[in-house]
Amino acid sequence: MSEKIKNDQSKLDKIVALSKNRGFIFPGSEIYGGLANTWDYGPLGVELKNSIKREWWKFFVQEDKNAVGIDGGILMNPNVWVASGHVGGFSDPLKDCKSCKTRHRADNLIANSPIGKKQSIDTDAMSTTQMDEYVEANKINCPHCGKSDWTQIRQFNLMFKTNRGVTDDSSSVVYLRPETAQAQFVNFQNLQRVSRLKLPFGVGQIGKAFRNEITPGNFTFRTVEFEQMEYQYFTHASTSMDDYEMFKSRAMEFYIKRLGIEKKQLKFKDHGTALSHYAKAAVDAQYNFPFGFGEIGGTHHRGTFDLGNHQTHSGKNMEYVDPVTNEKYIPTVIESSHGCDRLVLAVLCNAYHEETLEGDDVRVVLKLKPCLAPYKVAVLPLQKKDLGEKSDEIFALLAKNFMTTYDETASIGKRYRRQDEIGTPFCVTVDFETLEDDCVTIRYRDTMKQERVPIKKLVNHITKKLSK
Ligand code: ATP
């Protein structure tokens, strides 16, 4: 049995096709010609995504006695975004091509140009003027029309604006949140009071964020609407660098142990001197996607930036009083931030395998960690008419415990392949012997081995395998 798939654009194309054909991810509003950088999760995609969110919540919130959760609103008082720095500074440097009128991010133009690639230019460390000069000096062409006739860079704010109420004036402006984190900050005193937790403690949140991204997305890698899983750890400045290092390791542990992503496909990219307005130290975690390494999450040392600014802008006290030492201080925050949609994509890329079996037969199999698979188990009656009733009973038993699917069409070989392609780890085959001995055949996705298991032991048997 051999594997034959390169990590390149053709692999991504296959994953995009499989996602659409089998119901993981559909292009957004497809019947109207789509809407750039938007996608809908289908029946299998929603299960996979929910499983990733569940694993994240378990790892960061449920299993930690010093952590709680929150589910903040998407719309917040606009002053939140003034205090957080997003109104003033959350922007992309954009250049317009005067010839074909398309709009591009200057950092991407440079990084993707032949000269930028050759010189491995780090655009994060360049000012707007330096980027303008670089594009001009190197005559970087428009990827759309091939000309080099650019406007100067304009900073373009990524926040989506809308209006509430009946008027359209500036007093009615609200923003769709560009990150989830601010709910943890503005609620810091509420959270501390109700949880009665002493510092250090953490608060997790999973929710939608919105950014007016104009560059093409590489499938779901860059979208205008996405889900973040963000954890804020409130701590004391004196231990904060150690905490920062701990959360870097925890992020990797989550990707490798909980999501089953291969260690060798992951790396850190330190922000070095190119830190965001809020950060004292920051690192991206990157996955080796078919289009290259891309960010899936980040660990950020945010210092006292957020709570300090909210204290200044709201006039409300954000300090913590240590019950033992009586020290009064604004907590330092370490953030562990993860993009749910990018992790879905990373998990799909990591799981996609093509295996050549005997006679050049190619088996497509998604080797998802069993706990992430959309369906944990499939019930497959060998024959519809006489085995339907028994199979229904088995389905009802399993479906109370696991996401279970039922398939009675086509040959059993074809049905196994369908389940392999969507990552179902266990297939339960009901045959005529089942009616005699109350046992079924269970077939394992990765090894394709089969064994006979009594129906009364089936739930326990699968539960044990799922916990591995
Ligand atoms: P990028 O540099 O790729 O634009 P970022 O550094 O702005 O990302 P953060 O603000 O740190 O991203 O957001 C935290 C996480 O949210 C990212 O690590 C990523 O997984 C996810 N994320 C950010 N922007 C998008 C997007 N447009 N589409 C999908 N996921 C996103």
Q: Measuring from atom 16 of ligand 1, which residue has the nearest CA?
A: 339
**From residue 372, how far is each of 64, 182, 257, 335, 343 by CA, in Å?**
21, 29, 12, 25, 12
Please say whether the beta carbons of 380 and 429 come within 8 A. yes
Pocket test for ligand 1, best of 105, 276, 295 (most atoms within 8 A of CB): 295
**From residue 394, how far is each of 317, 349, 400, 458 by CA, in Å?**
58, 33, 10, 9
Determine the Cα–Cα distance for residues 264 and 274; give it in Å rounded to an integer: 26
Point out the ligand 1 atom lying closest to the alpha carbon of residue 213.
27
Q: Measuring from atom 1 of ligand 1, which residue has the nearest CA?
A: 295
Pairing of strands 377-381, 426-430: parallel
CA-closest candidate to residue 237, choices 330, 158, 146 = 330
Determine the Cα–Cα distance for residues 104 and 106; give it in Å rounded to an integer: 6
pLDDT at 3: 56
Ligand 1, CB cutoff 6 Å, lining residues: 179, 211, 213, 222-223, 226, 228, 295-298, 337, 339, 341-342
Cα of 74 vs centre of ligand 1, distance in Å, is: 17
Query: Computed from CA positions of residues 286, 290, 292, 294, in that sequence, does the dihedral angle turn out positive or negative?
Result: negative
**131 residue type, one letter:** M
Q: What is the pLDDT along the chain (468 residues), one digit of tens a residue?
A: 545 578 889 999 999 999 999 999 999 999 999 999 999 999 999 999 999 999 999 999 999 999 999 999 999 999 999 999 999 888 889 999 999 988 898 998 998 899 988 888 888 778 889 999 999 999 999 988 999 999 999 988 899 999 988 777 767 899 999 999 999 999 999 999 999 899 999 999 999 999 998 876 799 999 999 999 999 999 999 999 999 999 999 999 999 999 999 999 999 999 877 677 777 899 999 999 999 999 999 999 999 999 999 999 999 999 999 999 999 999 999 999 999 999 999 999 999 999 998 888 899 999 999 999 999 999 999 998 899 999 999 999 999 999 999 999 989 999 999 999 999 999 999 999 999 999 999 999 999 999 999 999 999 999 999 887
**328 residue type, one letter:** K
pLDDT at 166: 76
Please say whether the beta carbons of 332 and 236 come within 8 A. yes
Tokens matching residue 42: 């289908």
Q: Measuring from atom 2 of ligand 1, which residue has the nearest CA?
A: 295
| 3-state secondary structure (DSSP) of residue 271 | coil
Q: Enter the DSSP assignment of 151.
A: P
Q: Measuring from atom 5 of ligand 1, which residue has the nearest CA?
A: 295
Please say whether the beta carbons of 404 and 468 come within 8 A. no
Chain segment 299-356, per-residue pLDDT in tens: 999 999 999 999 999 999 999 999 999 999 999 999 999 999 999 999 999 999 999 9
CA-closest candidate to residue 445, choices 464, 423, 430 = 423
Cα of 247 vs centre of ligand 1, distance in Å, is: 18
CA-closest candidate to residue 318, choices 332, 330, 309, 304 = 330
Point out the ligand 1 atom lying closest to the alpha carbon of residue 340.
20
| 3-state secondary structure (DSSP) of residue 197 | coil
Point out the ligand 1 atom lying closest to the alpha carbon of residue 300.
11
pLDDT at 2: 47
Chain segment 349-385, per-residue pLDDT in tens: 999 999 998 888 899 999 999 999 999 999 999 998 8
pLDDT at 4: 58
pLDDT at 153: 94
Point out the ligand 1 atom lying closest to the alpha carbon of residue 343.
20
| 3-state secondary structure (DSSP) of residue 309 | helix
Pocket test for ligand 1, best of 91, 231, 342, 347 (most atoms within 8 A of CB): 342
Q: Enter the DSSP assignment of 160.
A: -
**405 residue type, one letter:** T
Sequence-separated (6 or more) residues with CB below 8 Å from residue 455: 394, 397, 434, 438, 439, 440
